[in-house]
């Protein structure tokens, strides 16, 4: 098999689900003998539609972090560069943009830097919608576009009418639960603690408070940043290590997924891999892969009342909960890391062959 040089440009090394996907693929490529370098720009400049202004917050953060990736065990090289330009990036076979903010800069690079790939993991329009034109313009650049769901593919094509490759996200093979799942009484519910509006935080928090009050449920939350004013009875784990996070999934009966808009939602398939019954809104991986009443209980209206009623149904009906746990587990197994990463590698090789 041909060994290739791959350059990946990321906005920063901040912890998150999207970066974890990118860095896991990068590690896999290194393990297969490919030469991978991840580039992080210090001078983080907005696209020209914002008059080339510097994003100082991200720029300063990138400088202070340097090339240290503290939350992920990387096998690839990380290079901190002054800015995204031909002077700072090596020649390679593939050059990949991973965010709309850097897509234009990557596109402007010389062809010697590699075949240009744009890896899109979500519709990155902010909650206010102020960057909608910028995001959609990035789809029209003419790069080889790769995304994670068919609904994202159709959205991109409605804007650009260009060819888009879909490779679904995954769960690591070793993170699937092997032992028999124990049912808790009262139930345990896990949810991502992220206060961004599109993550449905306020909606989810309201439902969890009612669930604990009515059923005395154990509530497990985790996230990158500590969240103020949580009920004292709620458990919160800040940036838990993977071993602890997998343990928390194993201890939970149900995963609540209240996101209003999501590219994928790694918590869903990770929870399924640990036989958590998923109750969630119809977005991201739930919209893409799940079947209502079979692999998840799905709220299409995305209202507090509907999502709450569905969660309470699962809490009260152990037979339904067990069915969702078992079916979700079988669904997640179809999207293992070993399978999806191989597809990712083959896609990149096809571009240079």
CATH number of the domain enclosing 119: 3.40.50.2000
Query: Do 14 and 155 share a domain, yes or no?
Result: yes
pLDDT at residue 187, as a whole number: 98
> Could you tell me if 196 and 162 lie in one domain?
no
Is residue 98 domain-shared with residue 65, that is, in the same domain? yes
Three-class DSSP labels, the chain: CCCCEEEEECCCCCCCHHHHHHHHHHHHHHHCCCEEEEEEECCCECCHHHCCCECHHHHHHHHHHCCCCCCCCCCCEEEEECCCCCCCCCCCCEEEECCHHHHHHHHCCCHHHCEEEEEECCCCCCCCCCCHHHHHHHCCCCCEEEECCHHHHHHHHHHHCCCEEECCCCECHHHCCCCCCCCCCCCEEEEECCCCHHHCHHHHHHHHHHHHHHHCCEEEEEECCCCCCCCCCCEEEECCCHHHHHHHHHHCCEEEECCCCCCCCHHHHHHHHCCCEEEEECCHHHHHHCCECCCEEEECCCCHHHHHHHHHHHHHCHHHHHHHHHHHHHHHHCCEHHHHHHHHHHHHHHHHC
Looking at the fold, whether 15 and 42 belong to one and the same domain comes out as yes
Specify whether 230 is located in the same domain as 102.
no
Do 53 and 123 fall into the same domain?
yes
Output the pLDDT for position 29: 98
Low-confidence ranges of the chain (pLDDT < 70): 44-63, 66
User: How many domains does the chain contain in total?
Assistant: 2
- Enter the pTM of the model: 0.85
Residues 141 and 206 in one domain: no
For residues 228 and 90, membership in a common domain is answered with no
Same domain, 91 and 106: yes
For 58, the domain range is: 5-170+336-352
Same domain, 77 and 195: no
Question: pLDDT digit string (tens) for 121-132?
Answer: 999 988 788 789
pLDDT at 55: 65
State the pLDDT at residue 351. 97
* Residue 45: predicted pLDDT: 58
Q: Say whether both 19 and 143 belong to one domain.
A: yes
Q: What is the pLDDT of residues 158-208, one digit of tens each?
A: 999 889 999 999 999 899 998 889 999 999 999 999 999 999 999 999 999
Q: Both 105 and 130 in a single domain?
A: yes
């Amino acid at each position: 098999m041909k060994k290739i040089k791959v350059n990946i440009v990321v906005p920063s090394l901040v912890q998150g689900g999207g970066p974890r996907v990118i860095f896991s693929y990068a590690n896999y490529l290194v393990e297969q003998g490919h030469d991978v370098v991840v580039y992080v720009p210090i001078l983080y400049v907005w696209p020209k539609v914002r008059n080339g202004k510097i994003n100082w917050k991200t720029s300063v953060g990138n400088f202070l972090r340097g090339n240290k990736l503290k939350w992920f065990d990387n096998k690839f090289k990380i290079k901190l560069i002054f800015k995204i330009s031909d002077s700072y990036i090596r020649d390679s076979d593939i050059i990949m943009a991973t965010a709309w903010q850097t897509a234009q800069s990557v596109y402007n690079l010389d062809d010697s830097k590699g075949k240009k790939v744009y890896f899109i993991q979500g519709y990155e329009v902010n909650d206010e919608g102020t960057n909608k034109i910028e995001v959609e313009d990035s789809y029209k650049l003419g790069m080889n576009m790769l995304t994670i769901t068919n609904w994202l593919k159709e959205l991109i094509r409605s804007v650009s009418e260009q060819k888009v490759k879909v490779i679904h996200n995954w769960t690591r093979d070793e993170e699937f639960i092997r032992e028999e799942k124990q049912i808790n009484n009262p139930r345990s519910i896990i949810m991502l603690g992220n206060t961004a509006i599109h993550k449905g935080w306020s909606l989810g928090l309201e439902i969890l408070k009612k669930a604990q009050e009515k059923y005395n449920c154990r509530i497990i939350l985790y996230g990158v940043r500590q969240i103020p004013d949580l009920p004292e009875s709620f458990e919160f784990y800040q940036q838990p290590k993977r071993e602890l996070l997998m343990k928390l999934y194993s201890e939970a009966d149900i995963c609540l997924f209240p996101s209003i808009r999501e590219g994928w939602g790694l918590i869903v398939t990770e929870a399924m891999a640990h036989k958590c019954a998923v109750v969630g809104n119809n977005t991201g991986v739930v919209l893409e892969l799940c079947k209502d009443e079979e692999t998840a209980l799905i709220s299409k209206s995305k209202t507090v009342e509907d999502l709450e009623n569905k969660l309470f149904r699962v809490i009260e009906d152990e037979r339904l909960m067990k069915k969702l746990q078992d079916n979700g587990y079988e669904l997640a197994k179809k999207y293992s890391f070993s399978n999806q990463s191989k597809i990712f590698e083959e896609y990149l090789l096809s571009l240079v062959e």
